[in-house]
Amino acid sequence: MTTIVSPSGTAALFADLAVRVETDAPLAAHTWFGIGGRADVLVHPMDDASLATLLRRCHQGGIPVRVLGSGANLLVSDEGVDGVVVKLDEPAFREVKANAVGSLEALRAGAGADLAKLVNDCARRGLDGLSPMAGIPASVGGAIRMNAGGRFGSIGDAVHAVALLEPDGSLKVFPAGEIRFGYRETSLPAGVVLWASFALREEDPLKVRERVKEIFSHKKSTQPLAEHSAGCVFRNPRKVGAEGAASNAGHGDTTGERESAGRLIDLAGLKGRSIGGARVSDRHGNFVTVAPGTRTADVEALIRLIRERVRETSGIELDTEVVIWRRGEA
């Protein structure tokens, strides 16, 4: 059911705001897994001011807030989630801006902008810096928050600045030099990413498009992109004896400091293993795919099995990269 205000008891949160509100909203269609329960309240703010006010009111009222991006690395519990789920899919949050004339110094993209579309748009314009993100499904905000990336680099490598709405609704802009981009994490404090600007370089559009095509083709040949999954389930663990996480995100993928989680899962003999409709991909061990009718409980059970088997066979504890939303755990 879609309404302009929330259910009784929380209407004061939204009544005077430019927002679209869905109550008892199904979330499965908003995730790449395509499974999971409902959100008590799903809110689509129309502008920055309404989002800031909503965050402040939730903060003051102790109401948990979750941000729903593209759902590419999200697993929602079968029981759904409480609190307020925010989705930045209105035009105000998907806008991409670049200077109209002269040499390009930076491009700014709203948190709700689609990363894949942004990468392709940059390639067509002959702008490089984001080509390593080819084939990574995410919203810009979600990619920034987890420092998305792979063997070709991470989004933090191209960041110029990030704007964040803090839990009390106040705005703070962080230059790249004030942010630590680690392996699948950043030092950004709690809050909602509002936009990010990127330092890009002008290059021959044909060369940029070819680079994007090569990177995407590599991912397509090694990952089950056509199936329902959430990308890599586990983070690549640091190799035994390796020092702390690299200060620059891309290093965590490319310098040999980390062991491949997919390889560890292969060595544990788990490719093709299934529980219910959840299955370890035959193509890439670090991907779990789901068949129609799969429950989140099946995926969680398979994740537990994988962690146990890898611990038994290699002595390594795998940490999940996929984010799991559970009721009461925001």
Q: What is the pLDDT of residues 260-291, one digit of tens each?
A: 999 999 999 999 999 999 999 988 889 999 99
Confidence of residue 211 (pLDDT cuts 50, 70, 90): very high
Reading the block at residue 68, the tokens are 């729903």
Q: Say whether pLDDT at 201 is over 70.
A: yes
Range list for CATH 3.30.465.10 in the chain: 94-207
Q: What's phi and psi for 23, nearest 5 deg?
A: -105, 145
The two beta strands, 81-87 and 107-110, are unpaired
| CATH code matching the domain that covers 2-87, chosen among 1.20.1260.10, 1.10.357.140, 3.40.50.1970, 3.30.43.10 | 3.30.43.10
Predicted confidence at residue 276, as pLDDT, reads 96
Q: Say whether pLDDT at 316 is over 60.
A: yes
Residue 310 carries which side chain, given as an amino acid letter?
V
Q: Which of 222, 216, 166 is nearest to 194 (CA)?
A: 166
Q: At which residue do the structure tokens 């544990």 appear?
A: 268
* Least-confidence region, from 16-30, 38-52, 72-86, 93-107: 93-107
Q: Say whether pLDDT at 159 is over 90.
A: yes
Q: What is the pLDDT of residues 114-132, one digit of tens each?
A: 999 999 999 998 999 999 9
Q: What is the pLDDT of residues 15-44, one digit of tens each?
A: 899 999 999 999 999 999 999 999 999 999
177 CB-side CA count, 13 A: 0
Confidence of residue 5 (pLDDT cuts 50, 70, 90): very low
Residues 208 and 49: beta-carbon distance below 8 Å: no
Q: Which of 3, 225, 7, 16 is nearest to 136 (CA)?
A: 225
- Residue with the bigger pLDDT between 13 and 326: it is 326
Q: Say whether pLDDT at 49 is over 70.
A: yes
Predicted confidence at residue 132, as pLDDT, reads 94
Q: Say whether pLDDT at 249 is over 60.
A: no
Mean local confidence (pLDDT), 141-154: 93
Highest CATH level, class, for 225-325: alpha beta
Confidence of residue 224 (pLDDT cuts 50, 70, 90): low
Q: Which of 236, 72, 209, 99 is nearest to 160 (CA)?
A: 99
- Residue with the bigger pLDDT between 298 and 226: it is 298
Highest CATH level, class, for 94-207: alpha beta
Predicted confidence at residue 14, as pLDDT, reads 87
Q: Say whether pLDDT at 250 is over 50.
A: no
Query: Percent of the chain at pLDDT above 90?
Result: 75
Residue 229 carries which side chain, given as an amino acid letter?
S
Predicted confidence at residue 12, as pLDDT, reads 75
Q: What is the pLDDT of residues 227-248, one digit of tens each?
A: 666 788 999 999 876 554 333 3
Q: Say whether pLDDT at 189 is over 80.
A: yes
Rounded CA gap, 285 and 276, in Å?
Answer: 17
Residues 6+ apart with CB under 8 A from 177: none
Predicted confidence at residue 266, as pLDDT, reads 95
Range list for CATH 3.30.43.10 in the chain: 2-87
Q: At which residue do the structure tokens 């795998």 appear?
A: 318
Predicted confidence at residue 2, as pLDDT, reads 39
What does the H/E/C string look like for the chain? CEECCCCCCCHHHCCCCCEEEEEEEECHHHCCCCCCCEEEEEEEECCHHHHHHHHHHHHHHCCCEEEECCCCCEEECCCCEEEEEEECCCHHHHCEEECCCCCCCCEEEECCCEHHHHHHHHHHCCEECCHHHCCCCCEHHHHHHHCCEECCEEHHHHEEEEEEECCCCCEEEEEHHHCCEECCEECCCCCEEEEEEECCEECCHHHHHHHHHHHHHHHHHHCCCCCCCCCECECCCECCCCCCCCCCCCHHHHCCCECCHHHHHHHCCCCCCEECCEEECCCCCCEEEECCCCCHHHHHHHHHHHHHHHHHHHCCCCCECCEEECCCCC
Confidence of residue 11 (pLDDT cuts 50, 70, 90): low
Q: Say whether pLDDT at 3 is over 70.
A: no
Q: Which of 129, 231, 215 is nearest to 121 (CA)?
A: 129
